[in-house]
Chains A and B, each alone.
Chain A
Amino acid sequence: KQEVTQIPAALSVPEGENLVLNCSFTDSAIYNLQWFRQDPGKGLTSLLLIQSSQREQTSGRLNASLDKSSGRSTLYIAASQPGDSATYLCAVKFGSNMLTFGGGTRLMVKP
């Protein structure tokens, strides 16, 4: 069974800290991996998309890496801000059109 796991489930950090969110998946034969942000009660905002052939993607203070051989991806957030507080979801496309989601990491950045 193809599964996606995110750790930690929740994280609280002081403003300005750099942080790493982790995502692991059980099958290395992935099509792509996507990181999303979700604010409470809202929809999902796409942050970064990494194709199977890529190793990392960057957007502003965000950097996502992909290591298929170990079944891992990380989302690095530099110089965190209170506005970064949200739930971050990792989703993997395992070769079909269907996305499999991790459980999410609930991030709180304290001023």
Chain B
Amino acid sequence: SAVISQKPSRDICQRGTSLTIQCQVDSQVTMMFWYRQQPGQSLTLIATANQGSEATYESGFVIDKFPISRPNLTFSTLTVSNMSPEDSSIYLCSVDKNTEAFFGQGTRLTVV
């Protein structure tokens, strides 16, 4: 299995500001995934982060809005930039271990 520590667990932010979410895994993994879960909705993949290369973004998500870092094989950050109330969601990081997906505890973001 994999243990993922994600922080902060929640935050309330002013519109126009940025928030960086951190994700730490207890073992080395090739890919890390970032998801968004809007209120009352299921999960949508934002991007896939590989160490040493630029993240791959899904349709509807752009690097300027959601820059991602992946400095090593156990850590990644997702920044939500220039936030608006529509960015209020739960953001989750995920990894695969032996084909099974594991998730962090999530970051509950509220933009006011």
Contact = CB atoms under 8 A, between A and B. Distances in A.
B90 A34 contact: no
Chain B, interface size: which category? 20 to 34
A99 B99 CA distance: 11
Given A97-B48, A101-B42, A44 B108 contact: no
B103 A49 contact: no
Contact of B101 (A91, A103, A104): A91
Interface string B65-93: 00000000000000000000000001010
B43 A101 contact: yes
Nearest to A48: B100
A41 B92 CA distance: 11
Interface string A69-104: 000000000000000000001010100011101111
A86 to B, nearest CB: 14
Interface residues of A, number: 22
Interface centre among A31, A43, A97, A104 (most CB of B within 10 A): A43
B96 A97 contact: yes
B66 to A, nearest CB: 16
B42 A104 contact: yes
Contacts of B48: 97-98
Across the A-B interface, the 6 shortest Cβ-Cβ residue pairs: A43-B106, A44-B103, A43-B105, A101-B42, A43-B103, A101-B43
23 contacts: A31-B99, A32-B99, A34-B100, A34-B101, A42-B105, A43-B6, A43-B105, A44-B106, A45-B103, A46-B100, A46-B101, A49-B99, A91-B43, A97-B31, A97-B33, A99-B33, A99-B43, A99-B45, A99-B94, A101-B43, A101-B44, A102-B42, A104-B42
